[in-house]
A and B are shown apart, each in its own frame.
Chain A
């Protein structure tokens, strides 16, 4: 693809993606409507159709969607500088906040009540992770059926936790199989 013409000023790009980063609670997928709001509705840098295409393409690749979208959109409307500005705007403020807060917390860990605060978040994270587990399990059950999902999950558990195989090998093998195996007629999907 030839580099697209510059359409958006960097300042507008910076401000739009800073706003998306600061308002985007709930992780990447929750930020997509905000990106659409800024990029399609507010600034008209892309049409609804182009936005949907970019989202679909982003989902064919691994990695966080919330950095691929800003990076690609920034590049498309303002070249390489736009790409850098959009990515930095969306991630930098909260990375700095995260490092500052946790570094502060770590340096006072020996204080009794601050130590207690750290202990108390563990059960909360346990519940959040349980919630994500159910979410991924339900999606998996709907797409593959529960028997196949359970078989894959147990086989992977045995490889990773009993035999100590690195998860990268297990998932990498599955990805390669999904990509390379010829597509048969769809089973009742």
Chain B
């Protein structure tokens, strides 16, 4: 029973404070799943994120579904998805009139603006921890090769993330076994 409550909190809190859409929620979820509860290590979280980025549909619900399943089976997946989707949707349905009046309010705009530097910093921290994880598991040479190739593909040629993940899987199967 406790694990369901923890799963609920681990996904409810990031989704209630994560202004800026799905991507903003990722470092907050990492702080809960890897940092606070230790359900996954950085390697497993990176694998989940890689597949999440390669498949369509919202990233937040895919992460919730898989982490919930990994921790506590189908029931866990349902609890984590519920915590991700339902509270903010109920707020939207319940407070629509109020929100409608304030949709262009400078205070509301300020909320996502002021939170953004914190999210950017947590993302930078997560980038750094993935780098360390890469050093530990794949080693410096492979981390640099894969990282540089992925950066060129994603940033220079705007390759679809699914193809970049697929290419990395092939590389890993051939050279890192």
Contact = CB atoms under 8 A, between A and B. Distances in A.
A binds B: yes
Interface of A: 1, 21-29, 31, 53, 56-68, 71-72, 75, 83, 87, 90-91, 93-99, 101-103, 105-106, 112-133, 135-137, 139-140, 143-144, 148-150, 152-154, 156-157, 160-161, 166-168, 170-172, 174-175, 177-179, 181, 183, 186
A67 B161 CA distance: 22
A156 B117 CA distance: 9
A120 B171 contact: yes
Given A63-B18, A93-B57, A120-B176, A125 B81 contact: no
Interface SS of A by simple majority = helix
A72 B92 CA distance: 7
A172 B17 contact: yes
Interface string B90-113: 011100110110111111101111
A118 B110 CA distance: 40
A87 B107 CA distance: 29
Given A25-B160, A116-B175, A117-B172, A61 B154 contact: no
B151 A25 contact: no
Nearest to A133: B123
Interface of B: 13, 15-26, 28, 31, 36, 42-43, 46-53, 55-62, 65-66, 69-70, 77, 81, 84-85, 87-89, 91-93, 96-97, 99-100, 102-108, 110-127, 130-131, 133-134, 137-138, 142-144, 146-147, 150-151, 154-155, 160-162, 164-165, 168-169, 171-177
Given A68-B88, A161-B125, A178-B107, 11 more contacts: A22-B56, A27-B58, A28-B59, A64-B59, A66-B57, A91-B58, A114-B173, A121-B47, A129-B126, A167-B28, A171-B115
A119 B176 contact: yes
Interface SS of B by simple majority = helix
